[in-house]
Structure 1
Amino acid sequence: MRFILFPVILSCLALLSSSAPVPALSDAHEIIARSASNPAIRSIAQAVPRLYERSDAEISIKLGSEEFHLKKHHAQGESGSEVYTVTSGPHAGAFAKKKISEQEIEATTAVGDAIASGKDQSGGRWLVIKKSPGVEIEHTSKYINAKSDTTKCQEVVAGAIHVAVEQIVAVAKAHEWLHDDPHTSNILFNDQITQAHLIDWGKAKHTGAANAAALKLLLEQQFSHLCKSAAPPPPPPKKKAGKRAYELMY
């Protein structure tokens, strides 16, 4: 009977965790947890609340007098912080980051990209960041129209690097924060690649110095994959001639 009950309970828990509201889910898991005699089943039932914390579940935080409704972003950063998007209100489309360093908060605020920062009602530290008006270079019309032609693609990428270097140097000079993590996901562009926008200040350095020549070399490495043409397919393997073919040839 236990072997039959076990998959049934698992199926019920899966359905509950995917569709039930929080109160119904909590009541159901408590009933199963109390009635299950098998310790393994009790453990699974007690883990149901954690199943509910799936990626599409929304949360709300309050920073000062402002409340933000958030949903976990599909892409997470490399620094260990948690990335969310603001789903509604005047800042819909903005980003929020949890488990964030004071340095990133300072840098993001200094360059004018911070909407709010501070600790929420449970003591977690947050930073809410303006949504950038740019997109990654691969999604711009100028790059898409040029990428099939190696020469044109290289010209477009060289122009993007020039625009990006100018922006990094200008921001460092104006705000005394060097981005210091420039790559294709952290430098966004307008559609014609005439403007660059810097995002993700997690590795920023507090300095007004920026070496344009060194930045150009670094960005050439980071952007080098954008114009590589696909390698030609390997030739088909040569058929080995059998004895009869060999005799006919000679």
Structure 2
Amino acid sequence: MDGSESFSIQKILKQYGLKPHKGLGQNFLSDDGILEKIIDTAEISSDSAVLEIGPGLGSLTRHLARRFNKVVAVELDKSLIPVLKTLLSSFQNVSVIQGDILDFQPADAFQESYSVIANIPYYITSAVIRHLLESTVKPEKMILTVQKEVAERICAKPGKLSLLALSVQIYGETDMPLLIPAASFYPEPNVDSAVVRIRLYEEPRIAPELIPMFFRLAKAGYGQKRKTLRNSISANFPLGIADVTEKLQKSGIDPMRRAETLSIEEWNSLLREFAC
């Protein structure tokens, strides 16, 4: 099947005797117009290499294959691999790999720079993003269709910064260029989706050697909801409340503030104090 033929999720499922796997978060998107809009948000050239996660039945993969030089699609569900290879057989620039994306090392598939364009199962969104951002060969861009609520959290600004937002925004600039209604998927999920676009910085906003300490400190800061930084960090970090208060004050941060109100620059200042 090439990109010019009609693509019916229900028809293909019936033809191959398949059913969407709820445990793997399989909700298939086949609206050609929406798929093209998702790809457009990447703003990358036709000679680019692309990693797709969870291609499912290949609806997005077909569009990627028509527009880009190289596509690597990683699919966990073994039952879909022969179907994918059959449906994508006319595309010579697509490699289908069976496996868990959390075990996949981009360096094994890409010698060149690459971007990620994918509809990610909701239940592993955070783990997938973290895995890619911490990989030795990082993507230049990530275009991820995720649950709308998660997209809003990832793109949050200081004042509403969650630990998830913080862990993404130290690596790249985020925005939410496209909303996708639940009715666009089959089977229809209970919530709407959105596209998150992450443009990675050349270097993280936290010094690489301090990132483990940063996450340790940030997790301590977010460790107790509705608690002040002074109380939350001292309860989750091996320092007394007086020492924590002193380090916060030296960083120019009011000890009575809460973790979600801090900017990345303020976390950096605090990190330098704790790293001493």
The TM-score with structure 2 as length reference comes to: 0.26
> Looking at both structures, which has the greater relative contact order when contacts are Cα pairs under 8 Å and sequence separation is at least 6?
2
Using the size of structure 1 for normalisation, the TM-score is 0.28
Q: Which has the larger radius of gyration?
A: 1
